[in-house]
A and B are shown apart, each in its own frame.
Chain A
Amino acid sequence: MCAMPERKEAVLPLTGYDREALKFFYETMVKIRNFELTVEKYFFEGEIPGFVHLYIGEEAIATGVMANLRKSDYIQSTHRGHGHTIAKGADLKHMMAELFGKSTGCCKGKGGSMHIADFSVGMLGANGIVGGGFTMATGAALAQKMQKTDGVSVAFFGDGASNRGTFHEAANMAAVWKLPVIFLCENNQWASTTPYLTTTSVADIADRAQGYGMPGVIVDGNDVFAVYEAAKDLIDRARRGEGPCILECKTYRIKGHFVGDPEMYRTKKEVQQVLEETDPIPRFEKKVLDAGVMTREELDSIAARVNKELNEALEYARTSPEPEVSALFEGLYV
């Protein structure tokens, strides 16, 4: 029998982190934030088509989790998948080109934002179907177990997706077969335009772990250190063959459900207040500067490098050609 979900905080002293980890945290969070701001801008300018869902405010989760993963580990992402894809190590040029619908995109312009994937880094796909990834991550973990690797699969999902039947079927299957799956809940409080509490039977999604005989852990999803440390424990546990878990990261969706969402369901003031109080990037900066483990100059130089990479990606995407019409019929069957 599993106990009630544990609420965990970061406990390691910052001086205990190696510098590469700290740099990865900052670089990845800034990369995601600025990538998303760029995407938002070019969506409104009409250059990025389709439906786009931004990860702004949730960067600490993908970053803290992915810092524990190997390239060979798998993730299943969501419709809000740019952050996961970046943190797993995908190339920004091919990502941006995909969002612009160009032939040089990582999916050759066939997928777009909601269907972005980069198998070369173990990113098995965003999903336009909310809750579509649970069972596939479970199957990838089944393969990892059958292949006798110590790899893990992470299924990212939101509070809204936890009400899909797929969640419950996958959780039971993963638990009964003791598969190395991390069910990674990004509880951003909003199921599209609906406050999740009005449609969800529990306040903490991690409570549902009990029903499947697996551990549930809750962390502050806007504290990259807390996410990293909790994810490390659970991922190591899964690598040891001790089975799946739910890690619930409490966060908040700063932007609308999709780019262009008029957000009639909440006030700007509410959003602004949450951002000021919990934005993971300033929180990280304050922590590392206060602890004296990084300097302002180091942070600025990382941000400058990220922006350079991002500008190159943008240029690459904007100047790449759209797919030839002949590509319509390519790649339907092997």
Chain B
Amino acid sequence: MKTITFSQATLEAMQEEMRRDERVFVLGEDIVRQGGIFGQFKGLPDEFGSRIIDTPISETAIVGASVGAALAGMRPVADMHFADFVGVCFDEIYNQMAKIYYMFGGQKPVSMVLRAPDGLVNQAAAQHSQSVEAFFLHIPGLKVVIPSNPADAKGLLKSAIRDDNPVLYFEHKQLFPVKGEVPEGEHLVPIGKAKVVKEGKDVTLVSWSMTMNLAIKAAQTLEKEGISVELIDLRTVSPLDKETILSSVEKTSRLAIAHEAVKQGGVGAEISAIVAEEALDCLDAPIVRVGAPFTPVPFARSLEQAYRITPEKIAAGIRGMM
């Protein structure tokens, strides 16, 4: 094991996969000179030269060109700068990238990764702070991964690059400087598999991305109060790992879900529905979802603080179930 930041973990994944497969290349805004807006691509141009490409401010063309390049035999990794910008190129993601393999009868997969830094950071407000993974849960044909720590960041990015399907890779902006242990050598994390981070017996708490780290804190608080929490890091939003969640709920009889995104229509709603459909009999209490209120992300410190999910809010939600 070694201790590196989330950002360094993604960089290692890129370096290893680009050395392994010369079809892999990177395109996005502010990559070559700046190393990406969050420095997550720093140093890649030195080693890989023309395989690291600065684009115009044209998100539509970035994603569309990535799809086209993938169809022509390359394996692009496109950077979205901020996940909020997916709205600019939504058609390229959901009508082209997601559908081409299926609607053309499996002639050619769209083997590409779209990296999208998401989440709250520095009071960036309404258009630079969102968590939008739920949009893509609703789109057949995409895979959506969302790591919460450096080891998963590396392992999931490597798996995403090797996957023949189009993969959206959400990386939380607050996580980039966060340090954690990453296994030495080849490290792959399977897509579509949630992880039981900690076993518990009273309640299942499902979370992911930055909020997973808040969920861990909430669980520590609750443990002191005598509530044993089973923690599941979802890691992949689509395809959703129903089995891990259902088998945990069968054991604990309670389900809570915590995510940074708006609660209404969030991934938590889908998880709740699955458990209600398939394991209602197991539940001893109504499901609790902890998610952001139904507003855009506000700017002022007081408002953002009221908006954001905290360990205290997660713990309070769970106390109410017991």
Q: Give chain A's interface residues, CB within 8 Å of chain B.
A: 74, 76, 105-111, 115, 117-120, 124-125, 127-129, 132, 134-144, 146-147, 153, 165-166, 169-170, 172-173, 176, 330-334
A108 nearest CB across to chain B (Å):
3
Beta-carbon contact of B140 and A332 below 8 Å: yes
Q: Roughly how many angstroms separate A142 CA and B56 CA in the complex, as a whole number?
A: 14
CB neighbours of B105 from chain A (8 A): 105-111, 331
Chain A CB within 8 A of B86 CB: no
Beta-carbon contact of A132 and B95 below 8 Å: yes
Q: Which of B67, B70, B95, B143 contacts A333 (CB 8 A)?
A: B143
User: From B164, which residue of chain A is reached at the shortest CB distance?
Assistant: A334
Beta-carbon contact of A138 and B103 below 8 Å: no
- A139-B69 in contact given A110-B104, A331-B102 (Cβ < 8 Å): yes
- A139-B66 in contact given A129-B91, A169-B61, A333-B143 (Cβ < 8 Å): yes
22 contacts between A and B (CB under 8 A): A76-B68, A106-B105, A106-B107, A110-B102, A110-B103, A110-B104, A111-B105, A115-B103, A118-B107, A119-B71, A134-B61, A136-B96, A139-B65, A142-B68, A144-B72, A146-B74, A147-B73, A153-B72, A169-B61, A170-B65, A172-B61, A332-B102
Chain A CB within 8 A of B260 CB: no
CB neighbours of B72 from chain A (8 A): 74, 139-140, 143-144, 147, 153
Beta-carbon contact of B68 and A137 below 8 Å: yes
Chain A CB within 8 A of B268 CB: no
Chain A CB within 8 A of B123 CB: no
CB neighbours of A141 from chain B (8 A): 68
Chain A CB within 8 A of B83 CB: no
B269 nearest CB across to chain A (Å):
22
Chain A CB within 8 A of B100 CB: yes
Beta-carbon contact of B73 and A332 below 8 Å: no
Which 9 residue pairs are nearest across A and B when measured between Cβ atoms? Answer: A135-B64, A139-B68, A139-B65, A143-B72, A108-B105, A136-B68, A107-B105, A169-B61, A331-B106
Task: Known A-B contacts: A110-B102, A125-B100. Give 17 more (CB < 8 A).
Answer: A111-B104, A118-B107, A119-B108, A120-B107, A124-B68, A134-B61, A135-B68, A137-B68, A138-B65, A139-B65, A146-B74, A147-B72, A147-B74, A166-B60, A333-B143, A334-B163, A334-B164
- A143-B60 in contact given A110-B105, A334-B109 (Cβ < 8 Å): no
User: From B239, which residue of chain A is reached at the shortest CB distance?
Assistant: A333
Beta-carbon contact of A169 and B68 below 8 Å: no
B238 nearest CB across to chain A (Å):
10
CB neighbours of B58 from chain A (8 A): 169, 172-173
Q: Roughly how many angstroms separate A146 CA and B140 CA in the complex, as a whole number?
A: 31
Interface size of B as a range:
35 or more
Q: Which of A74, A108, A127, A138 contacts B106 (CB 8 A)?
A: A108
Q: Roughly how many angstroms separate A172 CA and B60 CA in the complex, as a whole number?
A: 12
CB neighbours of B51 from chain A (8 A): 146
- A111-B60 in contact given A146-B74, A153-B68 (Cβ < 8 Å): no
B286 nearest CB across to chain A (Å):
33
Chain A CB within 8 A of B253 CB: no
Beta-carbon contact of B56 and A172 below 8 Å: yes
Q: Roughly how many angstroms separate A330 CA and B74 CA in the complex, as a whole number?
A: 24
Q: Roughly how many angstroms separate A304 CA and B302 CA in the complex, as a whole number?
A: 79
> Which of B60, B64, B91 has the most chain A CB within a 10 Å cutoff?
B64
Chain A CB within 8 A of B82 CB: no
> Which of B73, B103, B140 has the most chain A CB within a 10 Å cutoff?
B103
Q: Roughly how many angstroms separate A129 CA and B97 CA in the complex, as a whole number?
A: 13
Beta-carbon contact of B102 and A143 below 8 Å: no
